Amino acid sequence: METPIADFVSAYLQSGVSRLHMPGHKGRGPLGCERLDITEIAGADALYQADGVIAQSERNAAALFGTAATFYSTEGSSQCIRAMLYLSILHAPSGGKRPVIVAARNAHQSFVLAAALLDVEIVWLWPEDDGFSLCRCGISPLQLEGILKRLSRPPAAVYLTAPDYLGGAPDIAALAETAHRFGAPLLVDGAHGAYLKFLPHSTHPIDLGADLCCDSAHKTLPVLTGGAYLHVSRHAPADFMENGKRALALFGSTSPSYLILQSLDFANRHLAEDYPSRLTACAARLEVLRAALRGNGWIVAKSDPLKLTLAAAESGWDGKELAALLRQGKVECEYADPDFAVLMATPENTEQDFNRILSALGHNPRQKPLLRRCPVLLPPETVCSPRKAAFAPSESVPASLAEGRILAAPTVSCPPAVPVVVGGERISQSAIEVFAYYGISSVQVVRER
C-alpha cells in the first residue's frame, strides 16, 4: 500500500530546499527525527482541510478498517472522544435542553472532561458484575433497555469503553442493537482495540455495530504516541462523516505533528502487508504464555488477545507487588492496582520479552487469594452538572476528609484515568474508601462559601 504522506516528506528532504518555514529547528537537532518533522507547507496537505496526501492516506486507512471514513488524530483518542460527543450532539439537537448521553461508568476521564466542556448530562450505566473494579463495567442490553425506556427522549448517544483497561468488553453487538432500537447512535471508546480489526475474526466495535469509534493507534499498533483514528461506520448517520473533520478541528492544534502523520501512514502499509499474520502469531504466543503461567499457579484473567491480565489478588499478591517483581526481572508492565497487573504486548515484542515474564514470575509461592476486596462504589448523589462543577471555584483537600464535598474535576490515578467520582457528584464514604484503595490521596472539590 502506498504511503503518500511519508513519500511527500521524503521527496521534500531529497529536494534540499531551504526551510524558511516552521518548525524552528529547520530539520536539525539532537533527536535525529527533526528532519522528518515538517509543517503544513505547499503539497503537504492540511489535516483539517485534507484533499491531498493526508486525504489519500486516510482513505487507505478507511479501506483497511472497512469504514465510511477514518480520520487521523495526532492528539490521541482524547481528541477523538471530544469529537464523538460533539458529533452526537450536533446530530440530535435537544431543543435548548442539555444533551443527554448514556454511558458505562468505566469511562476514561477524557469523556468526563468532554462532557463538562460540552455541557452534557450523563446518565450512568453502573456495573452489574460482582467484584467492583474501577476499570471494569459489566453491563447488559436489558439494563440499557431499562434506562432508555425511562428517558423522556432518546439520548444523543450511548457510550461504551471496549476493550477496557483489564481487557474486558461488554456485548457490543447486542448493546448496539438496543441503542439503535431507541434511536440512539452507539459511540465506542476503542482506545485499546485498534488491532482487533486485523485478527482472523474481527471484534472491532465498528464491525459489531458502533456508529463512531476511536482507536489509539499508538496503543496497540506500531505508531508514535498521539496517533489515533476516528472511525465512522458505513451505517452511521451521514452527518457524522460530513462533520467529522470539523469536529476534530474544534479540539485540535493547528500544528499537527507530521511525525505522527507519517507514522499513521506507514501503519497502513504494515496493516496491508504482514501485520495481521504477525498479530495472530502474537496472540497465539500470549495464549501459550497464559497456559504456562496458569501451570505455575498464577490466575490469569480473561482479556482481549493482546493483554495479559494477571489476577494478582486472586493469586495471593497485590498487583503493585507483582509489578515490582516483574520490574526486578526487567519487565515493565502497563498498569497495576491492588487487584490486577496488566501487560500489553504487540508483534514488536520479542521472544526474550515473553521468556522474561515467565521467569520473573516463576512458580507462584502464594496460592491463597488475598482476602481484601475493593470496596463497592455506591452511585454518588449528583448535585450539579460536570460543567458547573468544572467552572466553580475549587480547592484541593485530602481525600480522607472530603466526605460530603462536591467534586470539581475528576482526580484520577493514571493509568487507568477512570474517575471514581465525576465533577458535580457528592463524595460519599464509599467513594473515600475507593479513593484510598486506589491510592488517591487528594481531590479537587468545589469551594464552600
Residues that bind ligand PLP (CB under 6 A): 76-78, 108, 110, 161, 165, 189, 191-192, 216, 228, 415, 417
CA distance 137 to 132: 8
Tracing cell 487507568 back to the chain, one arrives at 416
Asked if omega into 163 is within 30° of 0 (cis), the reply is: yes
CA distance 308 to 300: 7
Q: How far is the CB of 107 from ligand PLP (least distance, A)?
A: 8
Q: Closer to ligand PLP by CB, 122 or 293: give it.
A: 122
Asked if omega into 419 is within 30° of 0 (cis), the reply is: no
Q: How far is the CB of 334 from ligand PLP (least distance, A)?
A: 9
Nearest residue to ligand PLP, scored by beta-carbon proximity? 76
- Specify whether the CB–CB gap between 235 and 241 falls below 8 A: no
Q: Closer to ligand PLP by CB, 325 or 417: give it.
A: 417
CA distance 117 to 388: 10
Q: How far is the CB of 59 from ligand PLP (least distance, A)?
A: 22
Q: Closer to ligand PLP by CB, 3 or 220: give it.
A: 220
List the grid coordinates of 448: 464552600
Q: Closer to ligand PLP by CB, 73 or 394: give it.
A: 73
Sign for the CA dihedral angle at 381, 387, 392, 398 comes to positive
Burial 226-260 (b: 16+ CB within 10 A, else e): bbbbbbbbeebbeebbebbbebbbebbeeebbbbb
CA distance 230 to 73: 7
DSSP strands (E only) in 330-393? 335-336, 340-344
Q: How far is the CB of 191 from ligand PLP (least distance, A)?
A: 3
Q: How far is the CB of 412 from ligand PLP (least distance, A)?
A: 10
Q: How far is the CB of 264 from ligand PLP (least distance, A)?
A: 12
Q: How far is the CB of 413 from ligand PLP (least distance, A)?
A: 12
Tracing cell 498521539 back to the chain, one arrives at 226
List the grid coordinates of 3: 504511503
Q: How far is the CB of 414 from ligand PLP (least distance, A)?
A: 8
Q: Closer to ligand PLP by CB, 4 or 127: give it.
A: 127
- From the number of C-beta atoms within 10 Å of its C-beta (0-12, 13-18, 19+), residue 216 rates as buried
Q: How far is the CB of 57 from ligand PLP (least distance, A)?
A: 19
Q: Closer to ligand PLP by CB, 148 or 175: give it.
A: 175
CA distance 421 to 436: 13
CB neighbours of 370 closer than 8 A, spacing ≥ 6? 313, 314, 316, 317, 318
CA distance 206 to 210: 5
Q: Closer to ligand PLP by CB, 52 or 415: give it.
A: 415
Q: Closer to ligand PLP by CB, 339 or 428: give it.
A: 339
Q: Closer to ligand PLP by CB, 110 or 143: give it.
A: 110
Q: Closer to ligand PLP by CB, 122 or 432: give it.
A: 122
Q: How far is the CB of 172 from ligand PLP (least distance, A)?
A: 14
Angle, vertex CA 201, rays to CA 198 and CA 206, nearest 5: 70
